[in-house]
């Protein structure tokens, strides 16, 4: 399953990786999601897209993203996935995260994301690393979520 496969970081952003990024950007906009990892397109690639302004639904492509710092303070919040529509679970995450990444032109950048944008960035970067969000909850909550997903799928 591609959702549990970790992507390997690359030295730069080539045409193939840019193409994955463009498809990912189109997919997130179509789904009106807050973020996506390449795994959702069936790709094992080091690229994620996140909404850096939730109200405006503006997006930022992050190639080779790495979390470089996080807040000590955490908050619980609901998270879900386009791969499990209708499923939401509470997950504890830092209230801000600093992320280093490459842009489309292979230029290194570092951005601090706060609040919900930090939650989305951390969620998608973990997905890129092969960690599905349900792995961050207890076995009981995970089993309940998967049972509900199966029921919703009919």
Q: Which residues carry out catalysis?
A: 124
Task: Write the CB contacts of 110 (distance below 8 Å, at least 6 apart in sequence).
Answer: 68, 98, 99, 100, 101
Question: 69, 27 in Cβ contact below 8 A?
Answer: no
Question: 53, 47 in Cβ contact below 8 A?
Answer: no
What does the alpha-carbon distance between residue 7 and residue 24 come to, in Å, rounded to a whole number? 15
Question: 119, 77 in Cβ contact below 8 A?
Answer: yes
What are 115's two structure tokens?
């609040």
What does the alpha-carbon distance between residue 124 and residue 113 come to, in Å, rounded to a whole number? 13
């Amino acid at each position: 399953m591609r959702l549990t496969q970790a992507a390997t970081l690359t030295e730069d952003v080539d045409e193939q990786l840019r193409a994955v990024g463009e498809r990912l950007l189109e997919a997130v906009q179509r789904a009106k999601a807050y973020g996506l990892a390449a795994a959702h397109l069936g790709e094992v690639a080091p690229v994620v897209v996140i909404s850096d302004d939730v109200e405006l639904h503006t997006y930022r492509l992050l190639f080779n993203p790495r979390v470089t710092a996080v807040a000590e303070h955490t908050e619980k919040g609901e998270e879900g996935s386009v791969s499990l529509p209708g499923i939401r679970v509470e997950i504890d995450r830092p209230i801000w995260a600093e992320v280093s990444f490459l842009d489309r032109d292979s230029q290194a950048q570092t951005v601090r994301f706060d609040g919900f944008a930090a939650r989305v960035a951390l969620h998608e970067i973990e997905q890129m690393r092969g960690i599905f969000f349900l792995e961050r909850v207890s076995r009981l909550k995970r089993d309940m979520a998967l049972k509900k997903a199966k029921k919703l799928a009919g």
